[in-house]
Amino acid sequence: MSALLSVKDLSVSLGGKTLVDGISFDLAPGEVLSIVGESGSGKSMTAKALMGLLPPKANATGTAMFDGANLLAPDTKTPRGTGIGLIFQEPMTALTPVLTIGMQLTEALVSHELCSKDEARSRAIDMLDRVGIPVPATRMRQYPHELSGGMRQRVVIAMMMLLGPRVLIADEPTTALDVTVQAQILDLLKEIVSETQIGLILITHDMGVVAEMADHVLVMKAGKAEELGPVADLFALPVAAYTRDLLDAVPRIDAVSTRAEPETETLLSVRNITKTFQTRGALFKSGAAHRALDDVSLEVRRGETLALVGESGSGKTTLGRVIARLTAADAGQVLLEDTDLTCLAGRDLQARRRAVQMVFQDPYASLDPRQTVGRTIAEPMIIHDTLTKAERTQRVESLLGKVGLGADMARRYPHEFSGGQRQRIAIARAMAARPTLVIADEPTSALDVSIQARVLDLLEGLKQSEDLTMLFISHDLAVVRQIADRVAVMRNGRILELGPASALFAAPKHPYTRALIDVAPVPDPTRKRGKRPVLQGDYPTGPLKEVDAGHWVAG
């Protein structure tokens, strides 16, 4: 079959820097080509070059033949929309917040003069139905903010498909979505490709998504193509060393857990915590109450890693913040070594805080931009310890060494560091307080896979060497599988299942846990499955009952 799109020696340079260096690939009708790489690999830049969306100063060379025209030639007008459609990562920014869904869907059809207004409307409704949006006629009158993230991404896909493109470029289309929603969107894209025989270029950093979706894979690193091949071969026998590293770095949800569960005394005991957030109402109307935590109890044993898993809105972050006393609970107790943290206030609280330290998700907001790294790490010591300046400097340097950074970095400011380095600095700051419990809230979800692997190794190593107990909050089951001893699955402010990681992953007892594990993409192309279960409806949320030793399930 002849190629839909044929790219040869595509290079993009900007300000003397080569961002994309000699990329070549062919895309056939009905084929899914995945471009994989970490941030800065040039994968998004490749897509932008094909769409003619490069920044004005960038310079693209090579050829990209589509429909008999070279897309990279300066005088070619890119058939944006009608020939090649683009789906972005963030569905909210791809839609205009001030126009209804209907207007946005029909606008392109009408402005391209493809059909009349009435016909555009009926075609838009058909397409919304096609991408699995319930009651499409009503949705046409709604605004983007009235829809969930997954629904918005469906609308974006519908918007693109309406124009009948023959190539669709999806740039991290599911990265901003929850894992269950991600599964649905991926299924939808797959269906569209096989039914309409368009070509799909799927740009992603997630090897799991690649394995489930792609026919061919292009691995990119620093602008260069490291490897291009059929998905099965690439996963089975990766040729390039970089591909092997990338595959090794990916945490596997189906890995065999070798972790032994420590049988120790209870360090932290959370009892019947309830937290309700009041949304601000209108002038004469009180706001709606959102129950973030609903009578949550759990225990963390000394020396273990307990993972809190759930989708957005499950209450996992709120629980972590309540334990760290960054959010006050409405009711319940947090007992750390028999001190109730929820009762403390003022100086007692300040003194006790050092025992619980947090590592936050966003490495770019978690360091004070106006403090040197050294001062940031030294802060807990300045507050709690009576050390001389020389002793402090020495300890800061040793902490920097422990997290794998040079001692000379203490004098620098955060903006000089990469995301992964910043996260190491944040970990060093947490260690500086000599905590007994570290709460890591999605510490690697903003990082590239290879960097994620190293940060996870670092946390694991520190946990051993510093005798730490860790509460690990994550949405990523594969990461949790790698690092956790025990796992608590949360949904809508309730714990649905709590048990040893090995038992919970091997034989999940709660239907929601089963579904969560089922939809997570597995980086193994030989494990292709049919349509995944839709994660909706009601799950049992009753009180936890012990079904096995240490394995609790909501009834």
Partner 1 sequence: MNTSTHQDGPRAAPGFLRRLLRSPSGAIGLAIVLLLIFCALFAEMLAPYNPAKMGAGGRFLPPGGDHLLGTDEFGRDLFSRILFGSRITLLIGAVAVGISLTIGMAVGMIAAFRRGWIEAILMRSTDVLFSFTETLIALSFVAVLGPSLQNAVIAVGVAGIPFYARTCYAAALVETSKSYFEASISAGAGPARLVLVHLLPNVLPTMIVVATLGVSTAILAAAGLSFLGLGAQPPTSEWGYMLAGSRDYINRAPWLMTIPGIAIAVTVLGFNLLGDGLRTSLDPVERK
Which tokens belong to 512? 């929601």
Stretch binding partner 1 (CB under 8 A), from 212-220, 225-233, 357-365, 531-539: 357-365
Q: Which of 253, 367, 410, 431 binds partner 1 (CB under 8 A)?
A: 367
Q: Does 356 bind partner 1 (CB under 8 A)?
A: yes
Q: How far is CA 322 from CA 199, 315, 365, 470, 498, in A?
A: 48, 10, 20, 15, 19
Q: Which of 34, 243, 366, 482 binds partner 1 (CB under 8 A)?
A: 366
| Shortest spacing between CB 358 and partner 1, in angstroms | 5
| Shortest spacing between CB 433 and partner 1, in angstroms | 6
Q: Does 357 bind partner 1 (CB under 8 A)?
A: yes
Which tokens belong to 10? 């595509």
Q: Which of 337, 379, 460, 524 binds partner 1 (CB under 8 A)?
A: 379
| Shortest spacing between CB 353 and partner 1, in angstroms | 4
Q: Strand, helix or coil at 11? A: strand
Q: Does 399 bind partner 1 (CB under 8 A)?
A: no
Rounded Cα distance between 423 and 455, Å, is 8
Q: Does 368 bind partner 1 (CB under 8 A)?
A: yes
Stretch 321-340 residues interacting with partner 1 (CB under 8 A): 324, 326
Q: Does 235 bind partner 1 (CB under 8 A)?
A: no
Q: Does 57 bind partner 1 (CB under 8 A)?
A: no
Torsion of CA 52, 58, 64, 69, to 10 degrees: 60
What residue type is assigned to position 261 of the chain? Answer: E
| Shortest spacing between CB 418 and partner 1, in angstroms | 14
Q: Does 371 bind partner 1 (CB under 8 A)?
A: yes
Q: Which candidate, 166, 183, 165, places its Cα nearest to that of 174? A: 183
DSSP H helices in 283-418: 316-323, 346-352, 373-384, 389-402
Q: Does 393 bind partner 1 (CB under 8 A)?
A: no
Rounded Cα distance between 201 and 216, Å, is 10
Task: Annotate 468-513 with three-state secondary structure.
Answer: CEEEEEECCHHHHHHHCCEEEEEECCEEEEEEEHHHHHHCCCCHHH
Stretch binding partner 1 (CB under 8 A), from 142-150, 202-210, 367-375, 447-455: 367-375
Q: Are 315 and 475 in contact (CB under 8 A)?
A: no
Q: Which of 141, 145, 244, 411 binds partner 1 (CB under 8 A)?
A: 411
Backbone angles phi, psi at 68, to 5 degrees: 80, 5
Q: Which of 157, 433, 470, 535 binds partner 1 (CB under 8 A)?
A: 433
75 CB contacts (<8 Å, ≥6 apart)? none
Residue placing its CB nearer to partner 1 in the complex, 150 or 363:
363
Q: Which of 261, 294, 362, 524 binds partner 1 (CB under 8 A)?
A: 362
Q: Which of 351, 506, 507, 534 binds partner 1 (CB under 8 A)?
A: 351
Residue placing its CB nearer to partner 1 in the complex, 422 or 494:
422
Q: Does 358 bind partner 1 (CB under 8 A)?
A: yes
Q: Is 434 exposed, middle or buried (0-12, 13-18, 19+ CB in 10 A)?
A: middle
Q: Which of 42, 91, 332, 380 binds partner 1 (CB under 8 A)?
A: 380
Q: Which candidate, 274, 275, 291, 270, places its Cα nearest to that of 333? A: 270
Rounded Cα distance between 151 and 444, Å, is 26
| Shortest spacing between CB 58 and partner 1, in angstroms | 16
Q: Which of 135, 365, 506, 507 binds partner 1 (CB under 8 A)?
A: 365
Q: Does 383 bind partner 1 (CB under 8 A)?
A: yes
Q: Which of 152, 353, 475, 491 binds partner 1 (CB under 8 A)?
A: 353
Residue placing its CB nearer to partner 1 in the complex, 96 or 364:
364
506 CB contacts (<8 Å, ≥6 apart)? none
Residue placing its CB nearer to partner 1 in the complex, 73 or 365:
365
Which tokens belong to 82? 């009608």
**Binding interface with partner 1 (CB under 8 A):** 324, 326, 347, 350-351, 353-354, 356-358, 360-362, 365-371, 376, 379-380, 383-384, 411-413, 415-416, 426, 429-430, 432-433
